[in-house]
Amino acid sequence: MADVITYREAVAEGLAREMRRDPSVVCLGEDIGAAEGVFKTTVGLFKEFGPERVWDTPISEQAIVGAAMGAAMTGLRPVAEIMFSDFLACCWDYLANEIPKVRYMTGGQVTVPLVVRTANGGGLGFGAQHSQAVENWALAVPGLKIAAPSTPADVVGLLAAAVRSDDPVLFFEHKGLFASRGPAAPPDHLVPLGEATVARPGTDLTVVALASTVPVALAAAEALARDGIFAEVVDLRCLIPLDIRTVLESVGRTSRLLIVEENPYQGGWGGTVASLVADEGFELLDAPIRRVAAACVPLPFADPLEQRVMPTVDKVTAAVRGLAAY
Amino acid sequence: MADVITYREAVAEGLAREMRRDPSVVCLGEDIGAAEGVFKTTVGLFKEFGPERVWDTPISEQAIVGAAMGAAMTGLRPVAEIMFSDFLACCWDYLANEIPKVRYMTGGQVTVPLVVRTANGGGLGFGAQHSQAVENWALAVPGLKIAAPSTPADVVGLLAAAVRSDDPVLFFEHKGLFASRGPAAPPDHLVPLGEATVARPGTDLTVVALASTVPVALAAAEALARDGIFAEVVDLRCLIPLDIRTVLESVGRTSRLLIVEENPYQGGWGGTVASLVADEGFELLDAPIRRVAAACVPLPFADPLEQRVMPTVDKVTAAVRGLAAY
Amino acid sequence: MSAELLDLYERMAVIRGTEKAAHDLFMAGLVKGTTHLAAGHEAVAVGASAALRPDDYVFATYRGHHHAIARGATPEECLAELMSRDTGVCRGKGGSMHLTKASASMLGSYAIVGAHLPMAAGAAWSAKLRGTGQVAVAFFGDGATNIGAFHEALNLAAVWRLPAVFVCENNLYMEYTPIGTVTAVPNPAADRAPAYGLPAEVIDGNDVLVVRDAVARAAQRARGGGGPTVIEARTYRHYGHSRTDPARYRPEGEVAEWLARDPLLVARKAVGDGAAVDAADRRAQATVRRAVEAARAAPPADPAQALTDVWADGGAAWRT
Amino acid sequence: MSAELLDLYERMAVIRGTEKAAHDLFMAGLVKGTTHLAAGHEAVAVGASAALRPDDYVFATYRGHHHAIARGATPEECLAELMSRDTGVCRGKGGSMHLTKASASMLGSYAIVGAHLPMAAGAAWSAKLRGTGQVAVAFFGDGATNIGAFHEALNLAAVWRLPAVFVCENNLYMEYTPIGTVTAVPNPAADRAPAYGLPAEVIDGNDVLVVRDAVARAAQRARGGGGPTVIEARTYRHYGHSRTDPARYRPEGEVAEWLARDPLLVARKAVGDGAAVDAADRRAQATVRRAVEAARAAPPADPAQALTDVWADGGAAWRT
Ligand SMILES: Cc1ncc(C[n+]2csc(CCOP(=O)(O)OP(=O)(O)O)c2C)c(N)n1
Ligand SMILES: Cc1ncc(C[n+]2csc(CCOP(=O)(O)OP(=O)(O)O)c2C)c(N)n1
Ligand SMILES: [Mg+2]
Ligand SMILES: [Mg+2]
């Protein structure tokens, strides 16, 4: 394997590793088999594992995720693909009401070890119905684990943890990162669910980011470092379990917190992080908690409009400066 | 009309008022017509307005809300009922991707003046799939207005505003409040969307609540007043538009904030309120922001378990004491 | 007299008695929330179970007491669940709408109409991939045939030729609204089967042997690789939709006609031996009586249970 | 020679030319995001429009350029939209997948498969209640027939006898997967119509007159209170699914066969008068050329527009 791979390749690599390891892992989704995926994230799987392990489905999101659930309850470890995360809305009952609840409401009688993978997020001019960052829908649902990697190695490592997890995991692959590159994952690479990482250490303020906003935050931190402002960037990697300890430790060092989200402010995961810090970290804070989030509008198609709406390096840089000067 | 009515009666009254006023208002939903609604919230409508204005539907949540959308785009003002708010998951595409986005993505060419009413919340032993407070799913979606009244008069007043709104409104009626009573709404009563109200003035701390948690907060405030702790209770009434000004003004007076939500902490609307205050009201605060929310579990069936999970007067009282003593 | 039929009769009588007890306990304030009694539908559950292997998967609805018991949940653990006891089949976390007995391959009762049909397709897919010869059966109401999940599940199961059986319990009503007023075809399930290239049968759902035989045929076809079958069992509920419903919307004549075709009466007649049936009734009553007593005596649900079982590690932690 | 047919030809040629321009502009880096060209499907849009009243409602998909233009959106405003211009039909906020021309009763292009079928039912319901005699038409792909919304919409429209027409553009493929491999019946739309008690026709979707006549019959039935009709128009897309798709999964012979049945060729032959058609082609080319020039010259989309039009008051405020 190459030393450097794309995020897109990492998805296929992560899936292949798990399918080799465990014959009960099966994949299903639209165009994932013979066609190797609309985003080319399942390249090679159909060839290596055949139609008994890689299933092309009709356009039936409820049947895809519902069948994955039934299969997960009966001895398989399905990995279902929902092509764009916006389409989770078409099978939301399964993600909100069925999969995350059945273990609890049966008093622990059944277990649902499945992964739902989906291409999340905007920035590519795909318009309002193919660009959303919808991890917050899932955040409000008890019983789902939520992973959203920002690097190829984390894709592989978190995918391994997700597939091996006996709990259902919603796995957000970011469309805007598919073409990005990074070091390949070492053999048997595993990143436990619920462990954030300090993507860049710093002293002046903490920037909490996720998936697409990690490179944005890192670019801003890089630019600011030239001006002597040193931001620490925390990549959450998962929303559930939420590694708030790492955030609080960082804020303990920096006394200032900025959260960078791709989703709109209202209802965003940053609110959960902010309120935990405003409670448990209140005494650590020397400044208001700020959030750079998307505007509260559907995502527009045209480039200049989309840029106006989404978080950008400039917006993060400005927010960091404001907070550092507070 | 009686001086005091139930919350349940207020729903039917509010609908009837609007249907009398505007012939383009039509209702659709499961068992709402001849049967007058599973929660008896459409009593009298079928008799007064007939089958041309009150439509019984099949069990087809997507068709109900999707048809309401098509009708709203073409000259009607539909009021669709989704029986339990949990079932919004079955038509989530319409609430998340279609209804709130079509105005924006067509550059303002179309308008979708509709209301989706639904029975929300727990506390009645209906189990994991019939008890959720799901307003947070909607909060994360730009383009939906969200109302959640706590009193019969507010039901009537907010319903009037919702039906007259040219924007789509998700209207949460709380199952646990249906049997509660309060003063009837005066004629032509209208409560504008996005105006919170101070349900009980106080000086020591601000308690922000919504729908079912308003009476919980009021009961706690009442009990605490006997001990000389005076909590101000703010009833948000709407999540979008969010009247954060009223919250900030109250915190300006009290310096302390407690938020009481029926939903779990993670992903809850309290996070949005908390982070706004932790930013814009940072200097007003003399204590951490606290939230009393449900445990992060699906709602259990059995009474003692459900009580353990949900916010209660005792939990709020304890939290207020803790915060007041901070 | 057929010993098997007598046994099926007794099973139905136990279910009937258990639900009667649930109703009485509700009235006595010992059952909270809601219940959806299946009284009148017993032949569907018992007949189907008689045709299935113990390891065949069953998925049911909120109206699922009969399926849980027919598949092996005990009346005691079901009543204990309804009464919020720690010995409840779901430890008090499920309630009437979610009875589940996974150890008997009864994989759950689901309260979102139609949601379990794709799950059954998935269980059938899993059985096929694992080569176990198991069949997955979904029981659902007439009202469920108009929801999208029905369509998606039947198409997927048909295309993948899955060992699934889709059994509609057509009791003529959704909650309060007659199914005929909101459905474009007379037989809501069977008339849709051709849209998926599937065979269908409309059967008498109140005759336990008819149900047994139809399900046996479908299960055999499924196990043989012939794919799914749609069975529409015509039946009737004796009570209202749920405990709050007096069911006044049903014409008296219709109710009387169906009560005369009570599955227990049908089976009693078919057995032929009145004394044997009376003895079965007495045994059933005793079974139910013991169950009620045991459930009443059981400890209440443990509030600490509220914070367990979200995750497979047994806990509910969502943050560090 | 029929003047009407020549006119229909020219309309198709304008659509073809506009999409060709869109393709070229994409290659030149002037169109961002994605496009789903309908080249090959023109007869469906133009034939249907010829059969409809100007105030009949149309709902289309992300593959909707042909419907937008057939219903009255100008090539210029469509290309301007694709090119992120302020003069775009949706002011740059929609893009290729969401072309909408509400003033021409073209109520939108929707990018979630199947989502617009219930909307069309709702528009038909509204027309019926308001007594306007309008019809609502939903155009959708073969792949859309397997999603739940299809089922719910057709049942509701049938039960309520709504003035709706459901037109499936069966181009044999979803994105890259042949529809036949994931659908349990050979005609994915028409074979489902009986499940809703609806009449259906499978027609040649590449013959503009055939489409016009079928839609005219269906619209007449709808206006007369006869309820919805399902039309399955067999057609083919000339390009891949979207701009990134070279469509190698399609057998060469199949492609050649369908290109020979290009709707423009079919219409050209039917017109009979080669010179007249050539003249129409030249007019169409001129129309497209002017549109491209105008769109290129138009000002870019205005970033300030990003924060308008969420609410009916024109704004986007969500808090005080
Ligand atoms: C998606 C969804 N919509 C509505 C409901 C509310 N509801 C519960 S049972 C029921 C009627 C179901 O009728 P049917 O399928 O015929 O089953 P039956 O109750 O007659 O056994 C309805 C509408 C629900 N649980 N789920
Ligand atoms: C609910 C949903 N699932 C998946 C997709 C992704 N997708 C877009 S187009 C398409 C294929 C649709 O095929 P068909 O309905 O035949 O229409 P065609 O593109 O051939 O015109 C798919 C799977 C989507 N947009 N919406
Ligand atoms: Mg029924
Ligand atoms: Mg197609």
Which chains would you list as touching B if contact means 3+ CB atom pairs under 8 Å? A, C, D
Tell me which chain A residues have a C-beta less than 8 angstroms from the C-beta of C164: none
Number of Cβ atoms within 10 Å of the Cβ of B208: 30
Distance CA C145, CA C187 (A): 10
Query: For residue A129, which atom of ligand 2 is closest to its CA?
Result: 25
CA A259/CA A285 separation, integer angstroms: 14
Rounded Cα distance between D179 and D150, Å, is 15
Structure tokens at D319: 């808090």
B1 pLDDT higher than 60: no
Q: Tell me the residue type at B168.
A: P
Q: Is the pLDDT of residue B101 over 90?
A: yes
Q: Which two tokens stand for residue C142?
A: 């007439």
Structure tokens at C87: 């010995």
The pLDDT, as a whole number, for residue D1 is 66
Determine the structural domain holding residue D124 and report its residue range. Answer: 3-296
User: What rounded mean pLDDT belongs to chain C?
Assistant: 97
Mean pLDDT of D211-222: 98
Catalytic one of B8, B103, B117, B130: B130
**Per the domain annotation, does D255 fall within a domain?**
yes
Q: Which residue of C84, C90, C318 is in closest CB contact with B266?
A: C318
Q: How far apart are CA D131 and CA C81, in angstroms?
A: 53
Is C188 in CB contact (< 8 Å) with chain A? no
**Cβ proximity of A172 and A265 under 8 Å:** no
A5 beta partners: A182
Q: Where do the DSSP E strands lie in B194-325?
A: 197-200, 205-209, 231-235, 238-240, 257-264, 290-294
ipTM: 0.98
Provide the token pair at B145.
């207005």
User: Nearest CA to CA, how far is B135 from chain A (Å)?
Assistant: 10
Q: Give the residue from A127, A45, A116 showing the smallest Cα distance to A83.
A: A116
Tokens of C39: 């009284």
Residue reference for tokens 């109900």: B64
User: What does DSSP assign to residue D138?
Assistant: E
The verdict on a CB contact (< 8 Å) between A290 and B279 is yes
Residues B31, C174: C-beta atoms closer than 8 Å:
yes
Which residue has its alpha carbon closest to ligand 2 atom 17? D141
Does B4-183 carry CATH code 3.40.50.970? yes
Q: Which CATH number is associated with domain B197-324?
A: 3.40.50.920
Task: Select the residue from C93, C113, C305, C318 to test the A interface by mutation, using most A Cβ atoms within 10 A.
Answer: C318
Summarize pLDDT for B119-152 with one digit per residue, the tens: 999 999 999 999 999 999 999 999 999 999 999 9
A22 touches chain C (CB under 8 A): no
Residues above pLDDT 70, as percent of chain D: 100
| Sheet order of strands, C57-61 included | C106-110, C57-61, C136-141, C164-170, C229-234, C200-204
**CB of B243 within 8 Å of any CB in chain D?**
yes
Check whether C302 has a pLDDT greater than 80: yes
Q: Does B67 touch chain D (CB under 8 A)?
A: yes
Can you give the C-alpha Rg of chain C in angstroms? 19
Has residue C176 been placed in a domain?
yes
- For residue C117 and ligand 1, the question of a CB distance below 6 A is answered with no
Q: Comparing C-alpha atoms, which of D58, D63, D68 is closest to residue D14?
A: D68
In a domain, C309, yes or no: no
Residue C313 within any structural domain of the chain: no
If you ran DSSP here, which 8-state letter would residue C298 be given? S
Which ranges of chain D does DSSP label H, i.e. alpha helix? 3-27, 42-51, 65-71, 75-82, 116-130, 148-159, 208-223, 252-260, 263-271, 274-297
- Kindly report the three-state secondary structure assignment for every residue of D63-93: CCHHHHHHHCCCHHHHHHHHCCECCCCCCCC
- Identify whether C249 is part of a domain: yes
Residue D278: Cβ within 10 Å count: 11
Assigned token pair, C169 = 């319990």
pLDDT digits (tens, 9 = 90+) for A13-43: 999 999 999 999 999 999 999 999 999 999 9
C267 in Cβ contact with C40 (< 8 Å): no
- Distance, in Å, from the CA atom of A200 to the CA atom of D227, rounded to the nearest integer, reads 64
Cβ pair B105:A300 closer than 8 A: yes
End-to-end, the C-alpha distance of chain D in Å comes to 65
pLDDT of residue A1: 57
By most ligand atoms within 8 Å of CB, the mutation choice from D174, D177, D179 for ligand 2 is: D174
CB atoms within 10 A of CB C37: 24
Radius of gyration of chain A (CA): 19
- Region of C120 (left: φ > 0; alpha: ψ -120 to 50; beta: rest) is alpha
Contact A297/B at CB under 8 A: yes
Residues with Cβ within 8 Å of residue D151, at least 6 apart in sequence: C146, C147, C148, C150, C151, D192, D195
Number of domains in chain C: 1
Which amino acid, one-letter code, is at B44?
G
Nearest residue to B118 (alpha-carbon basis) of B235, B269, B11: B11
Which residues have a Cβ under 8 Å from the Cβ of C282 and sit 6 or more positions away?
none
- Is-catalytic flag, B130? yes
Q: D237 lies in a domain?
A: yes
Residue C1 has what pLDDT? 65
Helices (H), B226-302: 244-254, 269-280
Please list the alpha-helical segments (H only) found in chain A.
7-21, 45-49, 61-72, 92-93, 102-105, 135-139, 152-164, 213-225, 244-254, 269-280, 303-309, 313-324
DSSP three-state, residue A81: strand
Q: Which of B54, B109, B139 to mutate to test the interface with D (most CBs of D within 10 A)?
A: B109
Q: Which amino acid is at B199?
A: A
Q: How many CA atoms lie within 13 A of C132 on its CB side?
A: 18
* Residue among B74, B140, B149 at smallest CA distance from B113: B74
Nearest to B127 among A105, A129, A266 (CB): A105
Scan for tokens 């000004």, then name that residue. B245
Is D14 in contact with D68 (CB distance < 8 Å)? no
A282 DSSP 8-state letter:
G
The DSSP call for residue D160 is T
Instruction: Write down the mean pLDDT value for chain B.
Output: 98
For residue D193, give the chain C residue with the closest CA. Answer: C195
In this structure, are residues A31 and D175 in contact, taking their beta carbons and an 8 Å threshold?
yes
Ordered by start, the domain boundaries in chain B are: 4-183, 197-324
pLDDT digits (tens, 9 = 90+) for B48-65: 999 999 999 999 999 999
Residue C196 and residue D182: Cβ atoms within 8 Å? no
For residues B291-299, average pLDDT: 98
Q: How far is the CA of A237 from the centre of ligand 3 (A)?
A: 46
C155: CATH: 3.40.50.970
pLDDT of residue C125: 98
Interchain contact C255–D (C-beta under 8 A) = no
- Same-fold call for B4-183 versus B197-324: yes
Chain D residues with CB under 8 Å of A131 CB are none
Q: Which residues line ligand 2 (CB under 6 A)?
A: A 30, 59, 61, 83, 87, 90; D 63, 111-113, 141-144, 147, 169, 171, 173-175, 241
Strands across the sheet with B238-240, in order?
B54-56, B25-29, B77-84, B115-120, B169-174, B145-147, B238-240
In a domain, C305, yes or no: no
CA–CA separation, A242 vs A195, rounded Å?
8
Give the model's pLDDT for residue C190.
Answer: 98
Q: How far apart are the first and last CA of chain A?
A: 48
Task: With both helix axes pointing from N to C terminus, report the angle between A152-164 and A7-21 in degrees, rounded to the nearest 10.
Answer: 30
Closest ligand to the CA of B91: 1
How high is the pLDDT of residue C186? Answer: 98
* 10-residue averages of pLDDT along chain A (326 residues): 91 98 98 97 98 98 98 98 98 98 98 98 97 97 98 98 98 98 98 98 98 98 98 98 98 98 98 98 98 98 97 98 96
Average pLDDT, chain D: 97
How far is it, in rounded angstroms, from Cα A5 to Cα C129? 33
Name the region of B75 (left: φ>0; alpha: ψ -120 to 50; beta: rest).
left
Question: Is the confidence at residue D95, as pLDDT, over 70?
Answer: yes
Cα of C151 from ligand 1 centre, angstroms: 16
Q: Does some domain include residue C276?
A: yes
Identity of the residue in B35, B60, B127 whose CB atom sits nearest the CB atom of C147 = B60
Q: What is the DSSP string of B26-37?
A: EEEETT-STT--
Residues of chain A with pLDDT > 90, as a percent, come to 99
Residue pLDDT, tens place only, D34-53: 999 999 999 999 999 999 99
Split at pLDDT 50, 70, 90, the class of C301 is very high
Amino acid at A253: R
